[in-house]
Structure 1
């Protein structure tokens, strides 16, 4: 049995779930003003799928107060949630 232990350890290690790779969001300044919790999001390999020439991509902390107000005031549409942020596309027109 002791001969099998060295062979079993790598197999068991392969079964342990690995943490997900965190997505880097290129956050820029506040969206509506410098103190805004919601931030404009720049271009990256991850965010390219959500970018649109007629809208801004904005990330707000998932637990931020007044997200409903933000959505109502800006016409934002939720497109994803990642890394503790809610991503919205906000029409420019």
Structure 2
């Protein structure tokens, strides 16, 4: 009889929602899109979450680029990007729109 009592508990535990696993490439940063400026660029826009909302600005895009990206300096010069943080192997920039 005791084992029957455990079945509902096991079922509920299996149904519980868990936080998504971090992506092995992008970690837990909320990237979206296929590239920033051009399709398949290494840099990508970042969405809003508890971490990134401190950097969001209505007049700028929040963009993450791999720290080891070869043309990082060119990206900064071309876009006017301002580094706001580094996390999980990415440089996070605020890129002014316009």
So what's the TM-score if we normalise by structure 2?
0.70
Coordinate RMSD, CA, aligned = 1.3
What is the CA deviation profile of residues 11-38 of structure 1, one whole-angstrom value per residue up to 9, with x for unaligned ones? xxxxxxxxxxx87211112111111000
- Figure out how many residues of one structure are paired with residues of the other and give that number: 72
SS in 2 for 1:45: coil
Q: Does 1:24 align with 2:28?
A: yes
Structure 2: segments with no counterpart, 5+ residues: 1-21
What is the CA deviation profile of residues 30-60 of structure 1, one whole-angstrom value per residue up to 9, with x for unaligned ones? 1111110000000000000000000000000
What is the CA deviation profile of residues 46-82 of structure 1, one whole-angstrom value per residue up to 9, with x for unaligned ones? 0000000000000000001100000000000000000
Structure 1: segments with no counterpart, 5+ residues: 1-21
Q: Does 1:59 align with 2:88?
A: no
Q: How does 1:11-90 map to 2 (within 5 A)?
A: 24-29=28-33, 30-90=35-95
So what's the TM-score if we normalise by structure 1?
0.74
